[in-house]
Structure 1
Amino acid sequence: MALRGLGVAVLLASACLAGVCGDEFSILRSPQSVVFRDGGWPIPGDRIPDVAALFMGFSIEEDLPWPGLAAGDLFHRPRAAVLVTVKGVDKLTLPAKGISYPIENAVPFSLDSVANTIHNLFSEETPVVLQLAPSEERVYMVGKANSVFEDLSVTLRQLRNRLFQDNSILSSLPLNSLSRNNEVDLLFLSELQVLRDIVTLLSRHKHLAKDHSPDLYSLELSGLEEIGKHYGEDSQQFKDASQILVDTLQKFADEMYNLYGGNAVVEMVAVKAFNSPLTRKTRSILQSSQSDTDNPYNLAYPYNYNYSVIFNIILWMMIGLALAVIVISYNLWNMDPGYDSIIYRMTNQKIRMD
């Protein structure tokens, strides 16, 4: 398994050197129970949701031979996963404590599978599942997020009105070359306002970050992309917006990390433009046709993705039963019938009375 993962990593690295990879997948903050290796191994764009599922302790349908994520502490899983996708730029200058990996074939992805797993496993505890793209007004909330984040500004009109309130980021951020009168600049600033409001709302309801159910946040920001299209990527506005975004993201990561008591993973995906997923679909069709040829008898796959879970349950149950049998047998063998057994004790008293 390790050799196969290393071979895949070498192939992906050679592809990135050839110019295929340009986007980045970065880890801004992570607890000690989740171990990310700093090796610069490329990761396929469609497997980013599987990384989130694995470090949260969930099973995935297909094995992920990526050496960037180690096993970590299996008994202390993070209580929150935060993923911020920044469109329009393939790289952002991050602090030295962050870890970045190149993305190979950046196709559109979503954390719907992780969200569904959390909702199915912790439906009674109603965890926080929040996915949104402010510029496109796409919102997906499950459980307690419906009541806690219902006042979050998501539509363009709500975002614009939120910026001109007294406690907005316009009064604290250095705008530099950005303008309050330009719609493109306001769209970029409104997305940063959403990050600030999420932290504010969560700080008011800290009990959500202290329960046992894991939380999921998936945010997509495209305001920087619009600034690059409007002013140009060599403009001063784009440079100032990039620096403001880096500072805001780092502050957002630190605040979310602290709200969850240092037990949250904050990730960032910087992608210039998503590739068309048609090539991925074509390759999956070819793989299915090849598997039919290799399996002429239509036999079932030997095990599914729950095999490891079932195996561990049966293994430890059998070990526990074996230990119980050994302990019981040892105690029975060394038992004194005259003192340890109530049957013999009552019989001796009856004999003496007779």
Structure 2
Amino acid sequence: MTVSRLFPNKMAVTMALFWVSLVLSIIGSNASGEFNILHSPDSLKFTGSGKTSESLLKEIFSAALGLSVEENSEWKGMYVVDPFNTPEAVVEIYIDGVSSLGHTGLKTKTYPLIVDEYEPDTYQGVKHRIKQRFTNGGNKIVNIKLTDVDELKKNIFGDAKKPKPTKLSLMHLKYNVEEDYHFLNELASLQAITTKIENGGIVPDNMIDFYNLRFRTLHPLCDFHGPNSPQTKEAKKLLGEAIDQLNKAFIKAYDGSVLVTLVTTDVAHTRRAIRSAPAAGPDGKSAPEYEWQTKEFKAENETDDSYSSEYPAIFNIILWFAIVIIFSLIAIVYALMDMDPGRDSIIYRMTSTRMKKDN
């Protein structure tokens, strides 16, 4: 029996493969972002414009710091020009939920980013390699979600009072709008970190350091107002200016021996249910412009949070797996409907009630 008898309907098989490929391509193209170089020392050279993957960022950062890497990559965007003068620190500013900040005035070297991890392990990977290399410790390894008060106090401010950030002149954003309030509060934390660094909060000690700062509130603001709204454009502009100031502060603190990067991704994150921002402060005035979130307010947010951090990944896995299964089932049903039982299938021949007899 020929192969064509076993697989009679080639069109149906081809259609099934087409749908599977289409769904997988949608998954890959739906998650994208940018990897931006804000500053790099002379010992590193960034060239070209080829795509890189989020799963390879830990290899890029490790190679930049002179650490061993575990995975080979064909990406040719970075070259270590002087392996004896690698940067003393790497900074990753991670912006959740947007593929790009757009035209914010930041001078960057930009590479398209393939987002192949829903929960990137860049920080843990680099941290593990630094600790393997420097067993005596002493390295500054900081991972901060800018919405987390305890992390900021522990890793940046300690027992000191949070510096007062620069006063903003707002045109479209409002403090009595929940999404705007949380964005501006997180922006104030980023500005406060900049002020802390400018005031001598970082002293180089010839020990390599790694900073991961995660900004999370731009995504819900964009969802609420719309990606092309005046509020979103103003938010991106303010964030771009704050990142530029932070970049300059790190450059000055490390005397240029620092790699400062910006990562943006548009992976869909579930908006978490949080209580509305207070419309007025205890003094009866409008909500404080740069209020340091209290532990009580943070506790309320966590109480209303009905989704775990793994929810987006689980949801996407189930959703796209179900879509693949549905389209594959449709293709199989279509092929069976067009099948001739007497001619096409070996199954019908082997299970036929008419048995052949020898003459």
Q: What TM-score do you get using the length of structure 1 for normalisation?
A: 0.62
Write the letter of the residue equivalent to 1:180: Y
Name the CA shift for 1:40/1:187 in 2 (closer, same or farther; >3 Å).
same
2:176 matched to 1:168?
A: no
The offset of 1:88, in angstroms, is: 2.3
On the 8 A contact 1:152/1:194 being kept in 2, the answer is no
1:99-114 equivalences in 2 (<5 Å):
99-107=109-117, 108-110=119-121, 111-114=123-126
2:182 matched to 1:187?
A: yes
Write the letter of the residue equivalent to 1:57: G
The offset of 1:236, in angstroms, is: 1.2
Aligned-partner SS, 2:113: strand
Tell me which protein shows more helix as a share of its residues.
Answer: 1
The match for 1:311 is: none
The offset of 1:102, in angstroms, is: 0.5
The percent of aligned pairs where both chains have the same amino acid is 24
On the 8 A contact 1:82/1:264 being kept in 2, the answer is yes
1:36-64 deviations in Å (ceiling 9; x for gaps): 11x21000121111111110111111112
1:244-290 deviations in Å (ceiling 9; x for gaps): 111111121111111110111110111111684988xxxxxxxxxxx
1:254-333 equivalences in 2 (<5 Å):
254-273=248-267, 276=313
The match for 1:301 is: none
1:50-89 equivalences in 2 (<5 Å):
50-89=59-98
On the 8 A contact 1:21/1:102 being kept in 2, the answer is no
On the 8 A contact 1:25/1:103 being kept in 2, the answer is yes
On the 8 A contact 2:68/2:129 being kept in 1, the answer is no
Name the CA shift for 1:151/1:106 in 2 (closer, same or farther; >3 Å).
farther
Aligned-partner SS, 1:81: strand
Aligned-partner SS, 2:144: strand
Alpha-carbon distance in 2 for matches of 1:236, 1:147: 34
The offset of 1:224, in angstroms, is: 0.8
The offset of 1:222, in angstroms, is: 1.3
Instruction: Calculate the aligned-residue CA RMSD, in Å.
Output: 2.9
Alpha-carbon distance in 2 for matches of 1:209, 1:79: 11
The offset of 1:227, in angstroms, is: 0.5
2:217 matched to 1:198?
A: no
Write the letter of the residue equivalent to 1:236: P
Alpha-carbon distance in 1 for matches of 2:55, 2:221: 27
1:241-256 equivalences in 2 (<5 Å):
241-256=235-250
The offset of 1:101, in angstroms, is: 0.4
The offset of 1:117, in angstroms, is: 2.3
On the 8 A contact 2:142/2:155 being kept in 1, the answer is no
On the 8 A contact 1:84/1:221 being kept in 2, the answer is yes
If asked which structure has higher relative contact order (CA below 8 Å, sep 6+), I would say: 2
Aligned-partner SS, 1:181: coil
Alpha-carbon distance in 1 for matches of 2:249, 2:155: 21
Alpha-carbon distance in 2 for matches of 1:147, 1:103: 29
1:198-253 deviations in Å (ceiling 9; x for gaps): 233334445x4320101111011111101012222232111110111111111211
Alpha-carbon distance in 1 for matches of 2:229, 2:160: 32
Name the CA shift for 1:96/1:235 in 2 (closer, same or farther; >3 Å).
closer
The offset of 1:180, in angstroms, is: 1.9
2:36 matched to 1:26?
A: yes
The match for 2:222 is: 228
Aligned-partner SS, 2:219: helix
The match for 1:325 is: none
The match for 2:157 is: 149
Structure 1 stretches of 5 or more lacking a match? 1-14, 154-161, 280-354
